[in-house]
Every structure is written in structure tokens, then in C-alpha cells.
Amino acid sequence: MKTLSLRKEDAKHDWYVVDASDKILGRLATKIADRIRGKDKPTFTPHTDGGDYVVVINAEKIQVTGKKIDDKKYYTHSLYPGGLKTKAFKNVLEDKPEYILEQAVKGMLPKNKLGKQMFKKLKVYQGDDHPHASQEPQIWEPKL
């Protein structure tokens, strides 16, 4: 029996919409990362982008457990001495809630060109509206 390997020409990419209201950040991010990577499909091939597009709405209503809302921090560095900048989770949630889910999913994807290509299939928005209605996305309720 031969092992079949998916080619990028043969990959079928579907569109899904997820409502992040009252969902736990890490649990939702793992399900989204698996869907974007294609690990939930029987045709999963590690070296091919065979995953689906995921549109996340209501990113500002995402939840975290424990004291993360006070303790979790996001770091950036300018690569100059003393260039470390820190932002608290609470502040990022108010300013740019899309960034929180994007960074959580990005950390779960491969750290190479393929991972960057897969990350482009994640679309995160505040509120209920998104500009991807013409792709006719299916509603997806992940089991958390």
C-alpha cells in the first residue's frame, strides 16, 4: 500500500466562521491552528498547506482563565539596547483585541515559510461583521 501525499494543487481550502464570544483563548487557538494547518483532515501532509481559512468574529469578547487578565504581558523589542516594550493583556484587549488571538495561533504554527503562508489564512475581526461573505463561509462551533 502506498502512502498518498497531498500536493498543493490538489488541496481544497474551505472557509469557516468562528464566534469567539466567551471562548477560552488557548483552547480556541489550538482548534483554529489545527484547522488552518489541516491536521483535522485525512489528507494531512506536513510539508503542504492543506488547511482551511478561518474567520474569527467578536475577538474583543475572548476570555482567559485564572489571573492572566492581570498578569499576562506581551513583549516587543526594537533590537536596540533598552528597547524592550511591555504591554499588559488588559491594555492589548482594549486597544487591539485581534492581536491577542493572532499571536496565540501564530505561536502554534510552524516557524518557517510554510507557517507564514498558513498564518495568512487567519482573519480576525472585532464585532459581528466581516468582509468575507462572498466566500460563503460555514459556521463552525469547535468542541472545546
**At residue 122, what is the residue type?**
L
The pLDDT tens digits for 81-112 are 999 999 999 999 999 999 999 999 999 999 99
- Copy the grid coordinates of residue 83: 528597547
pTM for the predicted model, two decimal places: 0.93
Helix, coil or strand: residue 5: coil
- Copy the grid coordinates of residue 42: 485525512
Reported confidence tier of residue 139, pLDDT bands at 50, 70, 90 = very high
The pLDDT tens digits for 37-77 are 999 999 999 999 999 999 999 999 999 999 999 999 999 99
Give me the architecture of the 15-139 domain, per CATH.
Answer: Alpha-Beta Complex (3.90)
